[in-house]
Amino acid sequence: MRLLITWLINALALLALPYLMHSVTVSDFPTALVAALFLGLVNTLIRPVLVLLTLPVTLVTMGLFILVINAILFYAVAHVVEGFHVASFGSAFVAAILYSIISWALSTLILKND
């Protein structure tokens, strides 16, 4: 049940992004659900491999390169999911940060630590 609530929270965070950034569009709620699912899968399966491959760069930049990895994955998911569009890589960079903040805030408000 907690996984489904987290999925819905992430979809709501994606729906909030177009109100904060005009360069991000999400056509409707089902599109947000699919994009949130893809983002979750990509962050679970591909992100750890990219972090491991780019470990030297991440260490040199004191971890800031992980923000670039997040933006790359966010931008890639926007290209895969129909109805979810990000205008540029810079927009994906800012949108990935905002998406993380919004989903964290909603998760903190809705989900309680047991």
pLDDT at 1: 85
pLDDT digits 0-9 by tens, 58-101:
999 999 999 999 999 999 999 999 999 999 999 999 999 999 99
| pTM of the predicted structure, to 2 decimals | 0.91
Q: Which two tokens stand for residue 64?
A: 């800031």
Q: What is the DSSP letter of 112?
A: -
pLDDT higher than 60, residue 114:
no
Percent of the chain scoring above 70 in pLDDT: 98
Place of tokens 């470990």: 55
pLDDT digits 0-9 by tens, 41-63:
999 999 999 999 999 999 999 99
Q: Are 47 and 86 in contact (CB under 8 A)?
A: no
End-to-end CA distance of the chain, in Å? 14
Q: Are 84 and 39 in contact (CB under 8 A)?
A: no
